[in-house]
Structure 1
């Protein structure tokens, strides 16, 4: 096959490209320039897609003996990922920018251009597996549960899966990948993994958002509506948060309060006890299927609501264009805007963006 290897500048994508070459494919490496801040450099393990990363990707391609290019996707990234991130927070939701990047950039914009240029597939260093099932191609969890990235790939459709290549999916551990990189003479063998949001490399999400959406003082209220404190901008809070709450009135039981809801229109943050974070149902109308769609409108599954959360058994139902999920045991601290990924064993069924939640703990008047 003719394969376009997406080279982030990290060890995973470098080894993935090396394995594609070793498998006999015609491989071309490409690094995506997602920011026009030319002087930006990575700090420790924070951020990615910087000049330093592009240089590391080029060196890896030189070692592998494959062509290397840098493609400027900064405008698409700004419009489809960064702008979405800001607008979601402005609407009181908690977005996942890695999901949007995979959905809009790596497996949409990049894949579209790759196919236009005659490539058969895009290769990445994601830890996930593709399996030829009885009814077509299926997306499955990776062998290494600690590194499994099937959750952030849950946005991929059947058509996109047909043109993807994940060489690391069956690798038992990340240590094996690093050892292989060293044996191949790749300088990124011990490069630290990137963390946090790539376009906020200092990790100060609150400060970054304040610069773009402004900060306006508002009320912090309890579930009854009583004002218990003030804040400097509702966008800085997310459901489940405990730290950073300026509450002057202690709870009657003396226990800490948590953010239960963010109301952007009134610039209000609702807080309450930890048990009030229990969520009995989640639902959304922005959903996709990773391969074949479920044959029945109602079905049992496992649901995962965060990248590193444990999947929990649940019952899903599709009705009137909305996909709703009721877990066997309530979720803890679910926020609108999060992505819920559905599994059948190790296979990814599909995903949806959470638009509404139902609390398992009713408000006591």
Structure 2
């Protein structure tokens, strides 16, 4: 189905009607094991659900199609996907180059867990290509990219980073969670691996936790597949089914997320309580031109620096009524949070520490006038 449009792939890739019943929705296969027709005689290639499950296969085929990849792997969480990937491609003594404002969970995994395994890391502004080149070491195995970054909405040039990483013999890994495959397809720009927390925009309904890796290279796919089975942090069948159901509306949801975010940014830009708005769609955003080149639209995530510092920021997040004070992002409902004390508390005191005047919005798909009114009353 690779020749079809994104919207069609989201509904049909990996999701052919059930051959036995004709059901148009892929069945939920809850079995932990599968009958063999003699020793080694597998029906459809399935033997044990950690190694493979038909519902998970449907999700993986759909994700691969949406990202323009050849293989996808679904995991129990985004961090499970990241851990499995890094154990697949890095060895003790390897070096990982991180964004200067990486997601706190990714930083904690690499700095707090994999460092005990001998993995080192350096943080650098990925928008500064000279700084990236200078930070590369002979032992650099991975350049880890987020674009847009979480939570400062920084933009990195994926194609340029791919060239730098490949010249150094390293892999470029792009966390595409903030953009979703609808807005951005890093593999087509030269990335080696795409990472998703499918909990976010891909699932889209704040009711399932999951992660994914997508690749094109067959050798890399075999490594990841081996480690996915060996480590075992796989997506369960019901989680896979829920995520696949969410994917069907990804395109229409992303359009509404973007519409609402753009309106909110426009209205709030002149609000006296706000020091600065972080949004790649703003012409004065330092990554605006790169984002316009590699993204379909600019997304539904907005960062706000508030005058008055942390006290004002905490007061604002406590006053909203439609924006729910909660971690996570990318669901149909709007969320608000204080990264410094919530999602990014794990980087406090590190070079990646988040400004304490920052509030992060995950703009949902509610009526935009209702969302604007809610934010304005909270900012009063």
Task: Give yes or no for TM over 0.5.
Answer: no
Q: Which one has the largest radius of gyration? A: 1
Q: TM-score, normalised by structure 1?
A: 0.30
Q: Which protein has the bigger helix share?
A: 2
